[in-house]
Amino acid sequence: MKDRSQPTRERILQAAGGLFHRDGIRAISVDAIAEKAGVTKRTLYYHFRSKDDLVATHLQARDEPNLALFKRWFEETQGDTAEKIAGIFRHLAQSARNAKWKGCGFLRTSVELINLPGHPAVVAARAHKKRVEGWLGSIFTEAGAGNDALPLARQIMLLLDGAFAVVLLHRDPSYMETAADTAARLIADRLSSAAGSESSLHERRPFADQ
Amino acid sequence: MKDRSQPTRERILQAAGGLFHRDGIRAISVDAIAEKAGVTKRTLYYHFRSKDDLVATHLQARDEPNLALFKRWFEETQGDTAEKIAGIFRHLAQSARNAKWKGCGFLRTSVELINLPGHPAVVAARAHKKRVEGWLGSIFTEAGAGNDALPLARQIMLLLDGAFAVVLLHRDPSYMETAADTAARLIADRLSSAAGSESSLHERRPFADQ
DNA sequence: TTGTGTATATTCACTACCCGGTATACATTG
DNA sequence: CAATGTATACCGGGTAGTGAATATACACAA
């Protein structure tokens, strides 16, 4: 089980990430993490001050790659801004079809640690979500949404986190497609009206629910 | 601390509800619940088979009153269907301004128990959310949304649960207002286009984001 | 080259505590 | 009596975290 190709600290972090994602933070003991990492608990405590420290470090490490993934999905999708954002949701829908998919780790962590409001992991989760929202805002600004860019980013965040929650609850990825369509429509309406009222205003977009 | 005006079982349930809501299920011990209820642990176990049973019973008991509250808020709000639904979100925004507000217990429970997918409390949470969605669907059907009623209900659920998640994460109730406006707009668009294209089609609704 | 010092990295064995749940006995009430 | 409800005291097991010793690696001096 032990894999010496990675430095110990990274192995621990990776083991923790997998277990936290699968079962949740409070359901996983540091003994379980140490065992999965092929390491004694004592060496885990050499690399991390506490379980809380491990949780926080884990979440901080996920910030960058998570945002990068969204950016990649955005760029890889063909079409206008609305379709490119919808592409993110559709990639998420694809992920959610995997039985091992367990929603958004940032959201879940902030729920699990709700009685510790200042916990560094919660702070990291908030920061991550704000970064995503900020990135969306810059996308819409570049697309010419003007003063609507920031409110629009907030709406997309509501749909994104709503879809994370609902899909996780019902284990039904089709809600992610509903979110994709809704997001695309909200964006298209804003961008077309910003560009001038002669454009493709309100050709009704059909629903693609299940 | 002991309040004999309520039967023991109800007192336990109420104590559990308060503590679960405040700190989360996994963070609360049955000792803490028993103490808050002014009862020994053994008495608690006389009335409930296990902690899991207590959690499930608690969530089942919240289903009815929660839906009733939404219905009341809907009926008490003046205006068309879109505004009445937005009224629910605005009441929620008001609740969220209280520091003790801790989001949606159904969502939170399903996150905390993610590693126990068949847990009766999770089943109850799913059922509750489906009941709310079904109620929304019937509202939109009555309002003449036709085939759009069910997809529209799904969209509102995305916004609702999204707002629960985002407001809880950032502790910023203004997202609930954004959700209110977004929901109203989605509903108004559907209902007006269903009623015929001559009506109040697309008077732009201003955003109320701070 | 050999010896010594020092910082890093790791292990085994352990503590102190808290958790869900229970055995048993006693009290109250119809 | 019989049913219901409550109390004291306890259990086995899991939890986060630690003490003390050891292994490894590299720096530098004799």
Candidates B89, B100, B126, B154, partner chain A, best to mutate (most A CBs within 10 A): B154
- Chain B residues near residue A175 by CB distance under 8 angstroms: 154, 157-158
Q: Collapsing DSSP states into helix, strand and coil, what is residue A151?
A: helix
Inspect the interface and report whether the beta carbons of A108 and B114 lie closer than 8 Å. yes
User: How confident is the prediction along chain B (210 residues), in pLDDT tens digits per residue?
Assistant: 344 446 889 999 999 999 999 999 999 999 999 999 999 999 999 999 999 999 999 999 999 999 999 999 999 999 999 999 999 999 999 999 999 999 999 999 999 999 999 999 999 999 999 999 999 999 999 999 999 999 999 999 999 999 999 999 999 999 999 999 999 999 999 998 655 443 444 444 444 443
Q: Which of A21, A44, A42, A24 is nearest to A33 (CA)?
A: A44
Tell me the per-residue pLDDT of A18-74, one tens digit each, with 9 for 90 and over: 999 999 999 999 999 999 999 999 999 999 999 999 999 999 999 999 999 999 999
- The answer, for B166 touching chain A at a CB cutoff of 8 Å, is yes
Q: Tell me, rounded to whole angstroms, the distance of Cα B76 from its chain centroid.
A: 18
The DSSP output letter for B205 is: P
Q: Which nucleotide is nearest to B52 (CA to C1')?
A: C20
* CA distance from start to end of chain B: 43
Band of residue A200 on the pLDDT scale cut at 50, 70, 90: very low
- Chain A residues near residue B108 by CB distance under 8 angstroms: 111, 114
Inspect the interface and report whether the beta carbons of A161 and B165 lie closer than 8 Å. yes
Tell me, what amino acid is at A177?
A: E
Tell me the per-residue pLDDT of B150-203, one tens digit each, with 9 for 90 and over: 999 999 999 999 999 999 999 999 999 999 999 999 999 999 865 544 344 444
A147-154: long-range pairs with CB below 8 Å, 24+: A148/A190, A148/A194, A148/B207, A150/B209, A151/B178, A151/B207, A151/B209, A152/A186, A152/A187, A152/A190, A154/B175, A154/B178, A154/B209
pTM: 0.90
For residue B8, the model assigns a pLDDT of: 86
- The upper half-sphere exposure of residue A179, i.e. CA atoms within 13 Å in the direction of its Cβ, equals 32
- The upper half-sphere exposure of residue A108, i.e. CA atoms within 13 Å in the direction of its Cβ, equals 27
At a 7 A CB cut-off, the residues bordering strand C are: A 8-9, 39-43, 46-47; B 28-32, 41-42, 45, 50-52
- The answer, for B18 touching chain A at a CB cutoff of 8 Å, is no
Take residue A20 and report the two structure tokens written for it.
């936290």
Helix axes A105-112, B149-170, angle to 10 degrees: 60
* Greatest Cα-to-Cα distance within chain A, rounded to the nearest angstrom: 68
